[in-house]
Each structure stands twice: as structure tokens, then as C-alpha cells.
A and B are shown apart, each in its own frame.
Chain A
């Protein structure tokens, strides 16, 4: 113990806080609405802001407060407010304050277009305790609005950012690599570097997810066309080839064998409550077999009903069993049940796009010959060792 100090900085890793009852949940995702005041070309969820039919199905304030209350009782530390655009909710400030008064931290994902001086004042006076995350679609009006499709959105977004900066409300920015803003990558990184809360270069999405509700073939076609091709994705990842090789050599060395038939190898979570009160194992996974409507039980029951079942779940699709289950690239690949859902409406269908992306990387690293398929490889450990040896001697 300390002699005269009563405030101790301790590593709480060495203090047991969770005694193992129920499901330990550090974070709960909350989709306040699927509606958004932008209409971004690559978005996997957006519904029109003014769609009253959609709006009428959303949970009301009381229902959300009840869920937040349950989350706090379950020991959740952080709730992520996302959507759609969460600030579209008229009760946003009410729900935000309610969450914070429960002692929850709030991680806010927003496009910043609806951040008014009043909201910024609230965020400054009652800090969210997590950095706000803001997506940036372009560095100027033309490029920004070519993505969002909404005239005036750039000016609103700029004002929103300024409101936060003026009050020193912490936020970070992230980009989305799209044709209208492709030439601005450097300018974006340079501007992001001036942000005092960013301690690394900004992340940029480019392998866009398909529609989470599987509600539009036309939109899915467009999203597919906006995704970087495996060749281009590889080019971006390997912009500094030697750095990439060294990093990947270490990364691959950690792998021992392919995953087998077990489906959920991701640790599952954070759990998510969608805009209509359905609990999902994660934000992107909406397959009806693995979700739980909170009309049928509370949050605790939902988690108890979903998580243990998913941990035991095995793939049944013969294609998955032939390919993903036997593939040593599995840890590198973006394949997962949530992606299988949005791409195919199933839990265990190999997604060709990710397969190509993983194979492209493996070929670049010399782990696969040109026509080879990774799931047919039986000597992956040897190849990885050889590659590591090549790295250290070169």
C-alpha cells in the first residue's frame, strides 16, 4: 500500500471485476435509426431521413431508455450510438443524457452535419468519454456531395466539425475511398494529421459491405462497383512493399492450422440492438436465425439465448467445408457469418470477393503459386517458415 497517497494508479487487470455470471459485455451497439440525412452511394444501411413509415417502426424514447437501463445493469461500460444518423432522432439529447447519467460511456458515430452549437455545448459539458467518430466523404464540396448526394451537406458537416473544434470536444475522422474523392487521399491524411486526437493516420474503408437488410439488388450492384478490386486493394495495402512483407511475415508465422467447421471464430460481439428492438450478435449480422426480438424477452435473455448457441455453431455448407474450413488464410480473410449474410443471406457461404483478396495477398507474399488454391495447401507451416527465413536473410 501507499504511505500517504489515497489515489492509486493501478492496472485493473489485476483486480477481478467480473465474476463470470452471465455474458461479460463491455460494449453494446445501438442503432438509433436506419434513416440518414445523407444518401451516400456506398452505404449499407441508409434509409431516407423523411421516411415516415420507417420512422413509425422505430423504438420510442421510453423503449430505448429501458434498454439502456438494462445494459447498465448488465455491466456494459460503453454504448455505441450509430445508425443511420443518430442525431436525426429528436430525442437524441435526451437519450444521450440518460445514458451518461446511468454511468455509461457513449461512443458516437455521426456524419457531423447535425451537430449544432447546442449539441456541441452538451457534448462539451457532459463529455461522452469516448472520442466521437466522424466519417469524411470528401475534402471539398464537389467531392463530398458527389458521395452524399445531398446539396448543402458539405457546409453542414464543416460547421459541425467547427463546433466540436471550438469547444475542444474530442473526435477522430475516417474516410471512405470512392471515385469522387480518390485523388484527395493525401490531402485527407494531411488534414487528419492536424487533428489533435488522432494518433495514427486515418483509416479508410474500401471493401464496402453490401446492404445489411438485403433490400436492394440495384444498390448492391452499385456498392460492388464501388469496391476496390482485389488488384487495386492489394496495390493499396502494399504501397510500402518491404514494410508490408515484414509485417505479414510475422503475422503469418503465428498461424498453425486452418479453422475447421466452427463458424464463429471472432469472439462474437459487441452485441447490437437494431432500430426496431431486435438484438443481433453484431452490427452487421441480421440473419433471423441468430437474432432475438426483445419483444420476447429482455436483453439478458437475448444474450443468454444467442451467444452460447453461436459458439457451438458449425458450418454445414459443403462449399464452406471444402474451402474456408480448410484454408490457412482464414485469419487474414474478411470472411465471417455477418459477411456471408449480407452477401448471400446465409451464415456459411464463402464470399468470392474476400477469397480473391486473401489469395492476392498470399500470392504477393510468395505463399501461393499463381493457380494454387489456399485450401488445397497442406504444407502451409513450411511455406511460412521459408518465407520468414527469406525475409531475415534478404
Chain B
């Protein structure tokens, strides 16, 4: 499992399409190889959706954690652990990529 550095910036990959259907975020694979089954779709709960939207090619992981911490009541370190965990999963499934610095 790749180590997620807090100072890295991630962006949505071109291999998926994010859709909002009636307020819910649905992520649809575009290319082959995303997901375990060829017809897997993904959706997120509210926190997951917020994190997804912040992985916009501009914010570092640290910044994402900071925004969430300012909004939600959670135990110390809990939010950071979760953000790192989600980023790992999204990376593994090719739903996000490291953003290249221009």
C-alpha cells in the first residue's frame, strides 16, 4: 500500500465520471479496470462526498483534513486517519491520481 504523504495534492482521475443524481454523488467508471466487477458503480456518504469534492487538484491532504476538522466534531486524529484511508482506497481504485505540479 502506497504511503500517502500529507503534503501531496490529488485530483479526480479521468478514468471515472462523477455524477450528482438528485443530490447524491455517483461515480461511474469510464475506462476498464476500475472496480472489482465490470459494472461496479460507487457512491459516497456525506463525508465521503465532501472529501471527494476537495480532492480537486488544488488542496493538499493536510488542507482537506483541516477543513473537515473545522466543521465536524471528532476525536483527535480520527479525521486524519479517515482521510488518509479514503485517499488510499480511491487511489487503489484509480478514482484519483496525484496532481502534477504545473
- A and B associate: yes
Residues of A within 8 A of B (CB): 4-7, 12, 15, 17-19, 21, 72, 75, 77, 100-105, 124-127, 129-130, 170
Contacts of A75 in B (CB 8 A): 21-22
A367 vs B7: C-alpha distance in the bound complex, in angstroms?
75
- Tell me the minimal C-beta distance from A321 to chain B in angstroms: 40
Judging by beta carbons under 8 Å apart, are A103 and B22 in contact? no
Instruction: State whether A103 and B89 are in contact (beta carbons under 8 Å apart), knowing that A6-B82, A126-B31, A170-B38 are contacts in the complex.
Output: no
Output the residue of B18, B31, B38, B86 with the most chain A CB within 10 A. B38
A17-B22, A75-B22, A127-B32 in contact; A103/B17 too (CB < 8 A)? yes
User: Which residues of A sit under 8 angstroms from B17, Cβ to Cβ?
Assistant: 100-103
Interface centre among A15, A19, A72, A127 (most CB of B within 10 A): A127
Chain B residues near A5: list those with CB within 8 A: 85
State the main secondary structure of chain B at its contact with A.
mixed
Task: Tell me, rounded to whole Å, the shortest Cβ–Cβ distance linking B17 to chain A.
Answer: 4
Which of chain B's residues 15-32 have a Cβ closer than 8 Å to chain A? 17-19, 21-24, 26, 28-32
Q: How far is the CA of A21 from the CA of B21 in the complex (A)?
A: 11
Is A100 in contact with B22, judged by CB distance below 8 angstroms? no
For the A-B complex with A15-B43, A75-B22, A127-B32 known, give 7 more contacts whose Cβ atoms are closer than 8 Å.
Answer: A17-B22, A103-B19, A103-B30, A127-B29, A127-B38, A129-B28, A129-B39
Is B29 a contact of A21 with CB atoms below 8 Å? no
| Minimum Cβ distance to chain A for residue B16 (Å) | 8
Contact of A103 among B23, B26, B31, B88 (CB under 8 A): B26
On whether the beta carbons of A19 and B19 are closer than 8 Å, the reply is no
Q: Which of B21, B22, B39, B89 is A105 in contact with, Cβ under 8 Å?
A: B39
Q: What is the interface of chain B, defined by CB distance below 8 A to chain A?
A: 17-19, 21-24, 26, 28-32, 38-39, 43, 82, 85-86, 88-89, 93
Q: Which residues of B contact A21 (CB under 8 A)?
A: 22
Tell me which residues across on chain A come within 8 A of B21, comparing CB atoms.
17-18, 75, 77
Complex Cα spacing A264 to B31, Å: 39
Which B residue's beta carbon lies closest to that of A123? B32
Complex-state Cα separation, A18 to B22, whole angstroms:
6
Task: State whether A72 and B32 are in contact (beta carbons under 8 Å apart), knowing that A6-B85, A6-B88 are contacts in the complex.
Answer: no
Which chain B residues lie closer than 8 Å to A104 at the CB level?
Answer: 28
For B21, the closest partner residue in chain A by CB is A75
Q: Are A6's CB and B86's CB within 8 A?
A: yes
6 nearest A-B residue pairs (beta carbon): A103-B17, A103-B28, A103-B19, A75-B21, A6-B85, A6-B89
Measured CA separation A21–B22 after assembly (Å): 9
**Can you report 26 A-B residue pairs in the complex whose CB atoms are below 8 A from each other?**
A4-B85, A6-B85, A6-B88, A12-B43, A15-B43, A17-B21, A17-B22, A19-B23, A21-B22, A72-B19, A100-B30, A101-B30, A102-B17, A103-B19, A103-B26, A103-B28, A103-B30, A105-B39, A125-B31, A125-B32, A126-B32, A127-B32, A129-B29, A129-B38, A129-B39, A130-B39
Q: Give CA–CA (A250, B44) in the complex, Å.
A: 41
CA–CA, A17 and B24, complex, Å:
6
A103 CB → nearest B CB, Å: 4
User: Nearest Cβ distance between residue A124 and chain B, in whole angstroms?
Assistant: 7
Q: Give the chain A neighbours of B93 by CB distance below 8 A.
A: 7
CB closest residue in chain B, given A20:
B22
Q: Chain B CB within 10 Å — which of A5, A102, A103, A105 has the most?
A: A103
B87 → chain A closest CB, angstroms: 9
Give A44 Cβ to nearest chain B Cβ, in Å: 29
Q: Are A126 and B30 in contact (CB under 8 A)?
A: yes
